[in-house]
Chains A and B, each alone.
Chain A
Amino acid sequence: MPRNGKLVRITLALAAAGLVAALAVTSAGAAGKRSAGTLNGAGSSLVAPAVAKWGSMYSADTVNYSPIGSGGGISQISARSVDFGASDAPLTKSQGDDCHGCVQIPWALTATIPVYNIPGVGDRQLKLTGTVLANLYLGNITNWNDPAIKALNKGLNLPDKKIVPVHRSDGSGDTYAFTNYLSKVNKSWKSKVGCATTVSWPTGPGGSKNPGVAALVSSTPGAIGYVSDFYAIQNHIAKAQMKNAAGSYVLPKISSIEAAAQLVKGAKIPANNKISITNPPKSKKYKNAWPMSTFTYVIVPTSSPKAAQIKAFIKFVLSGRAQKAIQPYVFAPMPSSVIKAANKTLASIH
C-alpha cells in the first residue's frame, strides 16, 4: 500500500504539471488570438445565420456569436460581458436605461410569416387578413369553414376542421413582429394581448423555438402558426398570403419585404433608431409590401475599449456586399435611408 500511496502522489504531481502546461498553452493561444482580434456577441437566434455568414466573410477580426435569445443578448451587453448584443425587438425604455449608454443600430431586415396545415389546401393558396388572423388567435374564429375565412377564399375548399393556433412558447422576435402587426390591425388584440416578445396567449398550444412551431404545424391538421421565413422554406410548410393595408394579397419574399421597408424612406428615423415597418399604410407605394416585416438590431455601448473594432465590423455589416450576402437566409437588403441612419449612429461610438 505505501507503493500505492507513492503512485497516487506521482499521479497528482503529473496531473498538476499537466494542468499548468495546459493553462500555459491555452493562455498563450488566447493571447495569440487576441492580437488577431476577437469580437464576442450574443443575442437573437433569428439573426444568427446572418451573423455567422458575416463572420465568415469578415477577416479583420474573429466574430464569435452565441444565439442565446434577444433578452439574453440585452442583459449580456448591459453587463458588458460581450462586445455587442443583438435583439429583434427594439430596446424598451427600462432596457435602454439598464444598458447605460448603449445605442441600437438596425443591421438586418427580415419577415415573420403565417404558416398552416389545412387538409386539401396547398402552399400559398390560403388568403388571410390581419383582422381574421387576430380573430383566429383570439379564439373568436374556431373553424376553417367559418364564413369570415370563406369570404376571403372563394374557390378554395375549406374543410370543417377545428383551428389550432400555435404560438412560440419561448420569448422571441418573431412573436414581437407578429403581435406588433396584430396590435396595429385589431383594437381588441391591442387591449387584450398587446405586443411583446412574450404575450399572454388567449388560446392554443405553444411550440418551443422556430423548429417547435414548425413541427407542431406540420404534424397537426388544422394548425396555423408563425415562423421566420427561413424556417418555412426549410420545413416545406404552406405559407399564407396576407392582405396588406393597400388592399392587395402578397407573399413573403425579398421584394415584398423591401417594399415594406420603403416606409422608412420619407419618414424621419428617430435618434434611437426604433423603426416599425409592420402594416405599412394604405397607399399605392406599399402595394407589394409584406405587412409583417421587421428590422433586427445590434446593441453596442457608445464607448468601450474595443470601440474601433466594433465600429469596423458594423460598418462592414452595413455594406452592400454584406447585406446582399444574407439574402439566401431570407434577409432583405436594408434601404439606403436606414443604412444612412445606422451609419450616423455608428459615428457616435468612440
Chain B
Amino acid sequence: MSTFDTTSETVRRPFSGRRARLGDVLLQGVAGTAAAGAVALLGLIAYKVVDGSRLALSTFGLGFLTHIGWDPVHNHMGAAVFLFGAAVTSLGALVLATPLALGIALFLTELAPRWIRAPVTALVETLAAIPSVVIGLWGIIVLGPVLRDHVMPALHSTLGFIPLFGTPSPTGTGIFTAIVVLTIMILPIVSSISRELFLGVPSELKEAALALGTTRWEMVRGVIFPYARGGIAAAMILGLGRAIGEAIAVSMVIGSFDNGISWNLFNGGDTPAAKIANEFTNASGLEVPSLFYLALILLVFSLVVNTFAQIIVRRVARRQGLAAR
C-alpha cells in the first residue's frame, strides 16, 4: 500500500512538489528507522548474549561443546547432551515432515477437488497457530501415552535390531515424542511454502508435460519438483530452524534427561532451547553464563541455518535463470 502511495506521489510531483517531498522524507525516515531498529536489535541481542556468556566461555572454553552433563552443584556444565538432542529431534522431525508436507501441498494444488482446497489449506495453516504450550500439553497427556502403548512397542518389535528403536519409554516422553511433536509443528510451514511454490509452476509447463502423455506422477516428478527444488530446500531449512528453536512444547515432552546420550530414541534427552526455558528463571551463579553460552550456540546455529537457506535458494535460482526470485 505504501509503495503504491509513493509512486503516485512521485508521479504527481510536478503539481505539488513540496508536499510530496515532505511525504518522501517522512517515508524514508520511518522506513529507515524501522530497518535500522531491526538491525540494531539483532546487534544488541548478540552483544548481550556474548556478554552474558563471557564467564562460561572463559571457564569451560570449547570443552563446553563436548562435555556431557549439567551439574550446577559441582559447577560443571556442558552442551553435548543438548546439541545431540537438538540435532536428532530437528533432523528427525524434518525427515518425517518433508514427505508429508509435500504430499499435502501436491494434494492441495494438483489433486484435490477444487471446493475442498480452500478449507483444507486454511485448516493446515491453523495448525501453525496453535500455541506451542497447548501442543506440549496435548503431547504429554494424549500423544505420549498413545506412542508409549502402541507405536513404540510396535517399532521396537519390528525394527528393534536398529539401536534407534530400543526399549520403549515408560512415561511416553522422550526424544521420539519430541520428534513427533516437532513434526506436527513444522508441517504447516513446509507445506504452505511448498503449496505456494507449486502454485507458481507455470501451467504451460504442466500442460505441456501432460500433453506429451505423461501420467500425473511423472508430471509432478519431471516438472513440479525440479521447478520448485530450491524453494523446497529453503522451506525445509526454515522448518529445521523452527524445530531447533522450539522450546516450550519440546521441554514438556522430551523427558529432560541431561546426564547422558543414548541412541535409543525412546529415551529422554534435552535441547538448548528447552533447557534455557526450563532453567533460566531459577538459575544462579555459573549456571547463568552457561545458559547464555547455550543461547550463543543457538544464535550462531540459526545464523548458519539462515545463511545456508539463502545460499541454496540463490544457487538454484541462478541455475534456473530466475534471477528475480
Q: A residues bordering B, Cβ < 8 Å?
A: 1-2, 4-5, 8, 68-72, 74-75, 92, 94-95, 162, 164, 166-167, 169-172, 193-208, 212, 215-216, 219-223
Answer whether A220 and B256 are a contact pair too, CB < 8 Å, given A8-B5, A171-B282. no
Answer whether A199 and B72 are a contact pair too, CB < 8 Å, given A170-B281, A212-B140, A222-B170. yes
Determine if B189 is an interface residue (Cβ-Cβ < 8 Å): no
CA separation between A166 and B256, bound complex, in Å?
A: 10
CB proximity of A55 to chain B, nearest CB, Å: 21
On chain A, the residues within 8 Å of B69 by CB distance are 200
Q: Is the CB of B284 within 8 A of A92?
A: yes
CA separation between A207 and B278, bound complex, in Å?
A: 10
Q: Is the CB of A206 within 8 A of B283?
A: no
Q: Is the CB of A169 within 8 A of B283?
A: no
Determine if B58 is an interface residue (Cβ-Cβ < 8 Å): no
On chain B, the residues within 8 Å of A92 by CB distance are 284-285
CA separation between A194 and B172, bound complex, in Å?
A: 28
Q: Is the CB of A198 within 8 A of B279?
A: yes
CA separation between A72 and B283, bound complex, in Å?
A: 8
Q: Is the CB of B72 within 8 A of A208?
A: no
Q: Is the CB of B255 within 8 A of A197?
A: no
Task: Kindly identify which residue among B12, B74, B141, B170 contacts A215, using a CB–CB cutoff of 8 Å.
Answer: B141
Q: List B residues 154-184 near A (Cβ within 8 Å).
A: 169-174
Q: How large is the interface on B (under 10, 10 to 19, 20 to 34, 35 or more residues)?
A: 35 or more
Q: Is the CB of B170 within 8 A of A170?
A: no
Q: Top 6 A-B pairs ranked by shortest CB distance?
A: A171-B282, A206-B256, A69-B281, A169-B256, A194-B73, A200-B71
CB proximity of A337 to chain B, nearest CB, Å: 29
Determine if B289 is an interface residue (Cβ-Cβ < 8 Å): no
Q: Is the CB of B257 within 8 A of A196?
A: no
Closest to A69 in B: B281
Determine if B144 is an interface residue (Cβ-Cβ < 8 Å): yes
CA separation between A169 and B256, bound complex, in Å?
A: 6
CB proximity of A83 to chain B, nearest CB, Å: 19
Answer whether A216 and B140 are a contact pair too, CB < 8 Å, given A70-B282, A95-B284, A208-B251. yes
CA separation between A216 and B251, bound complex, in Å?
A: 13
Q: A71-B280, A194-B73 are known contacts; what are 13 more A-B pairs with Cβ within 8 Å?
A: A1-B5, A69-B282, A72-B280, A166-B171, A167-B256, A197-B282, A203-B259, A205-B174, A205-B268, A206-B257, A207-B256, A212-B140, A215-B141
Q: Is the CB of A212 within 8 A of B252?
A: yes
Q: Is the CB of B73 within 8 A of A169?
A: no
Closest to A179 in B: B73
Task: Kindly identify which residue among B8, B9, B278 contacts A208, using a CB–CB cutoff of 8 Å.
Answer: B278
Q: Is the CB of A193 within 8 A of B257?
A: no
Determine if B23 is an interface residue (Cβ-Cβ < 8 Å): yes
Task: Kindly identify which residue among B72, B73, B171, B283 contacts A205, using a CB–CB cutoff of 8 Å.
Answer: B171
CA separation between A197 and B282, bound complex, in Å?
A: 7
16 contacts between A and B (CB under 8 A): A69-B282, A71-B281, A71-B283, A74-B284, A75-B284, A94-B285, A162-B170, A171-B282, A194-B73, A202-B259, A205-B257, A206-B278, A208-B256, A216-B140, A216-B173, A219-B144
Determine if B70 is an interface residue (Cβ-Cβ < 8 Å): yes
On chain A, the residues within 8 Å of B259 by CB distance are 200-203
Closest to B70 in A: A200
Residue among A71, A94, A172 with max Cβ neighbours from chain B (10 Å): A71
Answer whether A171 and B283 are a contact pair too, CB < 8 Å, given A5-B23, A205-B255. yes
Determine if B145 is an interface residue (Cβ-Cβ < 8 Å): yes
CB proximity of B71 to chain A, nearest CB, Å: 4
CA separation between A219 and B145, bound complex, in Å?
A: 7
CB proximity of A82 to chain B, nearest CB, Å: 14
CA separation between A193 and B252, bound complex, in Å?
A: 23
CA separation between A253 and B190, bound complex, in Å?
A: 53
Determine if B246 is an interface residue (Cβ-Cβ < 8 Å): no
